[in-house]
């Protein structure tokens, strides 16, 4: 258990979600263990006994998340309500409390996956492994980031940015991740054997996480090789795909494996439509932010343009499409494949970005990076 706790503490630091020395993780095996000593432990041990969980995570987030979350949680806010799809389908809303008290923490964590303690940090839990707590924590950071930048864009357009909001925006802007000028070279295809395919898929997933184009739990990767689609499993960590890639025959309408990514049918559709073989899907932040921003003042769906906007929208050349869960007319598997034809990528409203390439992941990875960079440029261009 101790090794697992240390693993996820290190992952939080390398993902830029917390500073070294801050993550506090507890895990219950035969007995309760912590990754380090901390004065918060007695309170958290009471939380453990009040919930049926096996792990807890408590940490102060690193910048820019720290300032952003402090800002969103300021005043008499009782919860934060982000509108991106990760939050809507996964977290619902993000409760906020004032005091670091076990009874209040337990009350919130009974109903939600996280609680934000004002000025102190984020608490999340897991029932199976500390990995869940890590996933929930990174989702809170992602959602708050997207909400803050979305709100700022909306408010600045209306000329309604507050002094405090402006101050936090400056801090956040200073702490944005630096994009690499040189995308890494991935294994080049076409691949000679299945082992190479597995290695290439795992490598593409790992680099997508390392370049912070997705939180490790979300996103997916696939590659068609021969008559088989090799696709990441639905609950896998994208940076640890070894052993979590499902081979699915291309000639079925569905994958026989129940573990294959929930976006399996969208991947199949894209391959059939475009003739490409490699697909990458991440949740890069500014692609998500730009996709939720409808500039049409009198849009018929004003207020819900992040889910269902009747406007045909693009970020420069890249289309934005609806992509609801399921197989309805606005479901991913119906909107995405045709939009991908002739595009270097497609952004799904409030959700993320899909890119494709022919024989290996190099083109898809370059496009993922360059579209996200373009979305960030467009964001700051709109502000000017």
Nearer to Zn ion (CB atom), residue 49 or residue 262? 262
DSSP letter for each residue of 191-254? -SSHHHHHHHHHHHHHHHHHTTSS-TTS-EEEEEETTEEEEEBTT--TT--TT-EEEEETTSSS
Of 130-138, 310-318, 319-327, 354-362, which segment contacts Zn ion by CB under 5 A?
310-318
Q: Which range, of 56-64, 91-99, 232-240, 308-316, touches Zn ion by CB under 5 A?
A: 308-316
Looking at residues 311 to 330 of the shown chain, list those that interact with Zn ion (rule: CB under 5 A): 311
Q: What is the DSSP letter of 341?
A: T
Question: CA-based angle 337:86:357, to the nearest 5?
Answer: 35
List % helix, strand, coil for the chain (3-state, nearest 5): 40, 20, 40
Do residues 247 and 229 lie in contact, with contact meaning Cβ atoms separated by under 8 Å? yes
Query: With CB under 5 A as the contact rule, which of the stretches 15-23, 142-150, 289-297, 372-380 interacts with Zn ion?
Result: 289-297
Vertex 365: Cα angle to 362 and 369 (nearest 5): 140
Residue with Cβ nearer Zn ion (350 or 352): 352
Q: What are phi and psi of 359, to 5 degrees?
A: -110, -20
As measured in angstroms, the least distance from the Cβ of 301 to Zn ion is: 5
Q: Applying CB under 5 A, which part among 126-134, 242-250, 268-276, 303-311 lies near Zn ion?
A: 303-311
Closer Cβ to Zn ion, 223 or 309, answer by number? 309
> What φ, ψ does residue 183 adopt, rounded to 5°?
-60, 145
Q: Minimum distance between the CB of residue 283 and Zn ion, rounded to whole angstroms?
A: 6
Residues 341-380 that bind Zn ion (CB under 5 A): 352
- Report CA 97 to chain centroid distance, whole Å: 24
- From the CB of 146, what's the least distance to Zn ion, in Å? 13
Cβ closest to Zn ion, residue 9 vs residue 237: 237
Contact 376, 286 (CB under 8 A): yes
Cβ proximity to Zn ion, 40 vs 325, nearer residue: 325
Q: Does 282 help bind Zn ion (rule: CB under 5 A)?
A: no
Which member of 109, 116, 266, 309 binds Zn ion (CB under 5 A)?
Answer: 309
Our CB check for Zn ion shows the closer of 26 and 322 to be 322
Per-residue contact string for residues 2-41; x = within reach of Zn ion by CB under 5 A: ----------------------------------------
Beta carbon of residue 322, minimum distance to Zn ion (angstroms, whole number) = 11
Could you tell me the smallest distance in angstroms from the CB atom of residue 85 to Zn ion?
7
Of the candidates 80, 141, 294, 368, which one interacts with Zn ion according to CB under 5 A? 294
Tell me how far, at minimum, the Cβ of 320 lies from Zn ion, in Å: 10
CB nearer Zn ion, residue 32 or residue 299: 299
How many chain residues interact with Zn ion (CB under 5 A)? 7
Q: Are 181 and 243 in contact (CB under 8 A)?
A: no
Tell me the residue ranges of DSSP E strands in the chain: 24-28, 32-34, 55-59, 79-80, 94-97, 114-117, 121-126, 220-225, 228-232, 245-249, 278-282, 313-315, 318-321, 346-348, 352-357
CB of 84 to Zn ion, least distance (A): 10
Helix (H, G, I), strand (E, B) or coil at 343: coil
Cβ proximity to Zn ion, 337 vs 352, nearer residue: 352
**Interface residues toward Zn ion, by CB under 5 A:** 294, 299, 301, 305, 309, 311, 352
């Amino acid at each position: 258990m101790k090794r697992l706790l240390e693993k996820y503490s290190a992952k939080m630091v390398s993902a830029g979600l917390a500073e070294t020395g801050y993550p506090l993780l507890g895990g219950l095996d035969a007995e309760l263990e912590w990754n380090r000593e901390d004065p918060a432990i007695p309170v958290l041990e009471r939380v453990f006994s009040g919930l049926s969980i096996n792990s807890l995570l408590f940490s102060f987030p690193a910048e820019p998340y720290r300032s952003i979350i402090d800002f969103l949680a300021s005043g008499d806010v009782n919860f934060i309500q982000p509108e991106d799809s990760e939050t809507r389908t996964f977290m619902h809303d993000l409760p906020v409390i004032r005091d670091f008290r076990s009874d209040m923490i337990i009350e919130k964590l009974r109903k939600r996956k996280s609680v934000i303690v004002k000025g102190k940090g984020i608490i999340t839990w897991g029932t199976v492994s500390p990995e869940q707590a890590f996933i929930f924590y990174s989702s809170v950071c992602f959602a708050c980031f997207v909400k803050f930048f979305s709100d700022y864009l909306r408010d600045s357009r209306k000329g309604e940015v507050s002094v405090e909001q402006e101050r936090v925006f400056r801090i956040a802007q200073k702490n944005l991740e630096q994009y690499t000028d040189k995308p890494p070279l991935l294994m080049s295809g076409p691949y000679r054997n299945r082992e190479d395919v597995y290695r290439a898929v795992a490598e593409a997933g790992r680099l997508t996480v390392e370049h912070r184009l997705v939180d490790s739990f979300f996103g997916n990767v696939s590659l068609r090789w021969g008559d088989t689609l090799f696709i990441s499993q639905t609950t896998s960590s994208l940076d640890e795909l070894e052993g979590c890639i499902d081979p699915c025959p291309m000639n079925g309408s569905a994958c026989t494996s129940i573990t294959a990514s929930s976006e399996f049918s969208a991947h199949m559709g894209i391959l059939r439509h475009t003739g490409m073989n490699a697909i990458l899907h991440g949740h890069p932040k500014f692609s998500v932010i730009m996709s939720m921003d409808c500039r049409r003042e009198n849009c018929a769906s004003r207020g819900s343009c992040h889910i269902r906007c009747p406007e045909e929208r693009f970020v420069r050349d890249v289309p934005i499409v609806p992509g609801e869960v399921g197989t309805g007319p606005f479901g991913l598997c119906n909107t995405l494949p045709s939009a991908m034809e002739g595009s270097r990528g497609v952004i799904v409203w409030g959700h993320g970005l899909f890119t494709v390439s022919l024989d290996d992941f190099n083109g898809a990875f370059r496009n993922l990076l360059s579209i996200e960079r373009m979305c960030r440029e467009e964001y700051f261009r709109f502000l000017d």
